[in-house]
Every structure is written in C-alpha cells, then in structure tokens.
Amino acid sequence: MTKKLLIILSLFFPACTEEKKPATPFCPPGEDLTIYVDPMIGTSGPGNVVVGPSLPHGMVKLSPDSVVDPGDVDAYEYDSDRIEGFSHTHLQGPGGDHNGYSHILLMPVTGELLTEEADYASTFSHDDEQAAVGYYSVLLADYGVQAELTATAHAGYHRYSYPASDQARILIDVGHSRGGSKGGQVEIVGDTIVQGFGHYNVFPYFDLALSTDDHKTGESWIYFYAVFSKPFGSYGTYTQEGVSEGSASETGAWIGAFVNFQTSEGEVIEVKVGISLVSVTQARRNLEAEMLDKTFEAVRAEAVAAWNCRLNRVRLEGGSEEQKKIFYTAFYHLMLVPTDYTEVDGVFFSGADGVGKILTAKDWRYYTDDWCAWDTFRTSRPLSTILEPEIVSDVVASYIHVFEYGGWLPKCTWHATGISRDMTGNHGVPIVADAFVKGFRNYDLDLAWEALYKSATQDDEEHLYSGICGLLNIGTPPEYVENGYVSHECDMMESASMTLEYAYNDWCIAQVAAGMGKTNMVNLFEQRAKNYLNNFNPAVGFMQGKNLDGSWVEPFDPANDDRGNDFCEGNSWIYTFFVPHDVSGLIDLLGGRTALEMKLDDFFAGGYFEPDNEPSFHIPWLYNYAGAAAKAQAVIRDSLQTQFAAAPRGLPGNDDAGATSAWYMFGAMGLYPIAPGDSRYQISSPLFDRLTILLDPAYYKGETFIIEAVNNSDENLYIQSAKLNGEPLERTWITHEEIAKGGTLSLQMGPNPSSWGS
C-alpha cells in the first residue's frame, strides 16, 4: 500500500471519533503504580525537572528552589546543598538561561530575620529528603524545620514542623523568580491571612528585545491567597531597601512579607496557598474549592489517586525494577505538561494579545507551558494522542487561541503576555497536523487553517534582523517563501536547519490541506516540502549552508558543532537526516538504501548521535527505511540501557516539557513517529516482555493494544518475526488507526539480526 493511499485512508477514516468529553478522565482500575515514580530522576545535570508535588497538568507545581548559578533555569539542582524555599510555579525540563518561573516562595525559618535569598537559604542533606508522587519533604538543617509539601491543581499545601523557638517565622518572598521581578503587592489581613500578587518577566531578554509601549512580551502576574493554621504573633514587610516591622502592606519589585510565631518542640504550622493568574479573589476561590477544608493526608491521597488514573493506562510485564521506575517516571514527566491554566469556574488568563485578558473556556481547557514546540512536536504531543486523547484537541485549541488573539501560532506556549519566539521553525504546525490526521478535530478548523497558512507565508518583519532572522522571528522569513531556502546572510547561525524545518512544516500543512479538500494548497505545500533539496550539496553528500547568491557556505565541516555553523543545536551530520516527511527522497539523494545504511553506520560509528537532544531523536529508526531494521533495534536498545537511569542523573539532556521522557517511552514501547503528521509508527525492539495500553473508550473503539516481545532478554534484542493480531507482519511500521482499533503486536525475539524488515 502506498504512503499517499495510507494518508488518504487515515483522513477519511480517522482513528479518533471524538464525542463529548467525559466529565472525569479515563481511570482504569489497577495497582498503585506511583511506587515506580521517582521525581528525583533528572534532578542532577541537565534534566531540569520538577521534583515537588503536582497533579497531572496541574497549574501549581509546588517545588523546592535550590541555590543555583545566576541565570540558571534550574529551580532545583540535586548537586546544590542549599534550599531557598518552596515556590508554586515551575517549568518542566526547560533549557536555556535567564528565564523561568519559581513564583510566590515560602520559607520557614528560625532565629534572626534575614530577607536576602543568599542569607536565608538553608543547608540540607539528601538523607533528610523525600520526593514521591504528591509529596515532598526535607529537613532544613539551619533551622531545624521539617518541611512537607503536597498540592492540588491550583493550590499548595505546606506543613512545617518547628523546633521550640521564640523566633519562628515564615517568609513570603513575592519578588523571587527565575526570571525577573517587575512589581507586586503583599498584604497581611488579620492574623491568619496573607495575600497579594507578583508581577514578573519570565524571559527578561525577550522583554528587552520585543516589548513595545502597547505590547509586552513575557510579562506574568501571579496572585496568591494564603491561609495560616496559627495566628501570627507579629509581622512585617521588606524591600531591597530594608525591613518594616509591623507593616501590613508593601508594593513594588523584589518585595516580601514575614509572619512571626512562638513554637514548641515539634509544633506544626500549616499554610494553604491558593494560586491564580486572574486575581486574589480567584486565588481564594481556587483554594476554597480544592483544599480549604481538607487535611494534608487527604490532599496527598487525592494526588496519588489522580496519578494512578493516568499511570494505569500502561501496564508493564517483564523488565527490571529499574526499567519500570524509569518508564513510569518518564510517564509522570510527560503528564506534568502542558499545564492546564483553566481555573475554578472555567476562567483563565491569556496573554496572547500582548496586554492580557481574562476569559472563560466553555467545554475546553486552556493548556500552555509546552516549552517548546520545537521539542514536543516530535514525541510528547504524538504520545499524548495514544495515552491522553482527552487533552489533544484542547491543546490544539489552545495553540489556535494564541493565534486568534495574538496573530501567530506560538513557538513555545507560556503563561505570559506576548508570543514566545524561542527556537526555530513553525512547530505548532506539526502539532496541529498530527492531531488532525489522527482524527482530533474538536476546535475551529477554519481558524486552524488560517493559522497554518499565515505561519507558512508571512513573518513579523518588525523583528527580522539581518544575520539572525530566525532568532526572534515568528512565521516564515520572506527569503524562504521566495527562494525556497534560508540564506546564510539571513541567519548565519541556523539557516540550513531552518530550511529543513520549514520544508517539513510545509509537508504537514499539505496533509491538513488534503483532509480539508484544498487541492490547490496540497499542490503548493507538497512542492514546498521539497525545499530541503536546496540545501543538499551532492559534492559533499551533506546538507550545507547556502549563500544568497546560491553558492555554498565555506569552509564546511559536517562535524562542526560551533554556533554559527548554519545548524540549530546540531551539525550537518545530524541535520542531513532531518527529512522525516520524505525519507524516500533522502534515500535518492544519498544514492539508494544501501547508501543510507552506510551513512547511518558512519554517523553512529563517528559518535554523532546525541540522544540527549531532539534533532537526533528520529535518526536510529531510519535504519528501518534502509532495510536494516536490526541495526535500529541494536542502537535503540543500547541507548535505552546506557543513557537513562533510575538515578538523579538519569536523563541525558533537558527534559523539555517531557520530550526526552517521551522519547524513552516510545523506545521502550518499540514504536516511534518519524514524521508527526503521518499516522505511522516505526517498529523497533521493545524493552519489556509485554506492554499493555488501555485505550480510552470515549475516543477509541479498541479496549487494549498489546505489544509483546516473545523470548525477550538483554541478549534477545533482535526481532525475528512479527504478527499483528495473529497475521504475519513484514512491514516495519503500524498505523495509529491499527493501535486505536485495539489488538496485539507480537514480536518474536532472538539473539541475532534477522531478515525481518529488510
């Protein structure tokens, strides 16, 4: 069956027949799988994961902030030995620097009043620390305070056990941020309530480069309403200029408040903190709706139950305990984001217009913090179409919402004003296309098409800078539209990779156009999808940067990783393989399937594969197209076993909103979506003997899809033969539709490479 016919069939017979979304998420009964989740995985090194409690896609991610290097986006770094406090908002796994959240920080202390983070931060030991689903605790050694945390979707629950002290207090640091503080207000109400808001910039660099008098980029307002279990003995506020004892309110940037107590040995003080992006009143409403009358243990138990509903959608048999921990922790990371910013009563804050609006979502949820689409389109979002179908249309609707109010599809969604322009390409496009092709269409289709078309044909020229036209652009540079490639003069750092990414984006648009019956648009964007040819230099056999006059950028070294090499976070060795939408065309360029196999052999032998970064993610599965499926099986199994671990340094790179975790999950499942927007998944060697996916009956007709590896072991890593629902399967892929119908993919494993898939 040809690829084009498969696409046509998938469009007319989509896998997902969406009905009205159920009131509660799909919750298959099962065992407590949260015991396999270790939030400490990825806390050391580049993972940048959230270690503290949160619900699936919860707005509140209550987590410790440790002392890190200036500009670091890490909220918590395992190798740090000091904690600044516990803040309520966090990004999951971002890269970069000088950006982030970590807003509304509480810190329990004793002794002398200190108001600078560097001064009040406490030492701690990992021996006195525990992180689990819905729970975090640590002993703050400098103060003898045991801190415990749990959370609901919109509120944080703090439980602090104090030593005997006449100088016990809690700091409420409103200015604290991994980005920057622009202002705020704190107000002490009576003797048990503190409320207020912080005004921040989550990416000060973008604020400097992109904000205008009438349009702000990266600004965020976080409101809070905190209820204390014990009346304050006294209180005050502080600024960078000093302390105001007895003051009940303060405004400005970098401000905070403190409340004082006398405590007996082991005395517990609890603080329940409602968080909102809308108002203090809404923060109070969120708190009252979710936890005001609940105990700490009850809130923690609800969090565990909510996570078990999701985790039990995948059942594992075989494999080691460590592998199960890595898998379920990866699943946990995947479901932390994108964040659902729909608050109690359906209201949400949208900053897409650059000013900010309070809106109400009817019959959908507003998701953001998909940081960044450049990462998540490859793994996170396609995996959600299988495991969390209930969020897929809403995620697309959220992208379309940003277009409706801000004029562009976002590159990285966030809870801030303006549209993030981080990274290259238009990768909101494949997120929309992949959902559309798989049958998720519960959003404004006409507006979706308008967003896709504008992204591909226009750019915000106000922020096009010669030499770095991809750095802050949004849309597609005119050079690409006119010439079919991005020149080195347009962007000296990333021009070649920009061309390759836009060509793939164009192919994705062609798939949507086909499904909408826009024949003329199919032809246009299928032609543009071939633009990757413009950056292939047959004389060297690699993708190469190109000058405006059509000459090649020299000198050229395909292994050059230096910034300014015309490739984004990679080199030509990596990006020569980024033609996911037309692998047959790439094969022709390289000289045939054997040539592709040899090129891949050289790639892996040369050490160019980077499983820690997204541009390399798909490359092992290209062996399937070369007729050398056994080599894909060996490379992927090796990466799963050597690059990931059930340990703090267990992620090889930034988790990037669950993208790296989702790569592990796909690899362990033995499936991978080479080109999201195509409904096919390439098959490789599963890690577990049997993996059962319980399919959501509100979206899919099948009950379960099972992937079994018969005679599987560390030695028996090669597929000898395959059957789908009992029938021999010679092809190296299955479709989303086949998964959605339910069934069994049975793989016979052995110790030696076989001819299967050749």
482, burial (CB in 10 Å: exposed 0-12, middle 13-18, buried 19+): exposed
Tell me, what CATH number does 296's domain have? 2.70.98.10
Is position 70 within any domain? yes
Same domain, 561 and 513: yes
Asked if 259 and 149 sit in the same domain, the reply is yes
Q: Specify the pLDDT at position 82.
A: 98
In a domain, 13, yes or no: yes
What's the DSSP call for residue 163? P
Rounded to whole angstroms, the Cα distance separating 677 from 10 reads 11
Q: Both tokens of residue 357? A: 């609006």
Q: Are residues 206 and 86 in the same domain?
A: yes
Q: End-to-end distance of the chain based on CA atoms, in angstroms?
A: 17
- Is residue 211 very low, low, confident or very high in pLDDT (cuts 50, 70, 90)? confident
Domain that holds residue 535: 3-20+372-750
Q: Give the whole-angstrom CA distance, residue 674 versus residue 623.
A: 12
Residue 14 pLDDT? 52
Q: What is the pLDDT of residues 657-694, one digit of tens each?
A: 999 999 999 999 999 999 999 999 999 999 999 999 99
Nearest Cα neighbor of 663 from 653, 738, 399 is: 653
Q: Is the pLDDT of residue 3 over 50?
A: no
Give residue-wise pLDDT tens across range 512-563.
999 999 999 999 999 999 999 999 999 999 999 999 999 999 999 999 999 8
More confident residue, 521 or 212: 521
490 & 541 share domain: yes
- Cα distances from 670 to residues 335, 486, 749, in angstroms, run 20, 36, 12
**Which of 3-12, 511-520, 548-557, 747-756 comes out lowest in average pLDDT?**
3-12
**Residue 488, domain member (yes or no):** yes
Q: Give the domain CATH number at 668.
A: 3.30.2080.10
Within-domain flag for 331: no
Looking at the fold, whether 479 and 578 belong to one and the same domain comes out as yes
Q: Are residues 12 and 44 in the same domain?
A: no
Q: Which residues contact 698 (CB under 8 A, 6 or more apart)?
A: 19, 21, 22, 26, 389, 390
Q: What confidence tens digit (pLDDT) does each residue in 291-331 have?
A: 999 999 999 999 999 999 999 999 999 999 999 999 999 99
Question: Which of the listed residues 258, 293, 311 is the one where a domain comes to its end?
Answer: 311
The answer to whether residue 365 is domain-embedded is: no
pLDDT > 90 fraction of the chain, expressed in percent and rounded:
90
Contact in structure between 336 and 42 (CB atoms under 8 Å): no
Domain boundary among 311, 338, 353: 311
- Reported as a pLDDT band with limits 50, 70 and 90, residue 650 is very high
Whole-angstrom distance, CA of residue 700 vs CA of residue 495: 41
Based on the fold, state whether residues 7 and 54 are members of the same structural domain.
Answer: no
Are residues 72 and 176 both part of a single domain?
yes
Check whether residue 440 and residue 564 sit in a common domain: yes
What does the pLDDT average to over 447-470?
A: 87
What pLDDT score was predicted for residue 13?
Answer: 40
> How far apart (Å, rounded) are the C-alpha atoms in residues 332 and 330?
5
Count: domains in the chain: 2
> Average pLDDT, stretch 610-617?
96
Contact 390, 56 (CB under 8 A): no
Phi and psi, residue 146, nearest 5° = -90, 120
Please give the pLDDT value at position 73. 84
The burial class, CB within 10 Å (0-12 / 13-18 / 19+), for 29 is exposed
What pLDDT sits at residue 467?
Answer: 85
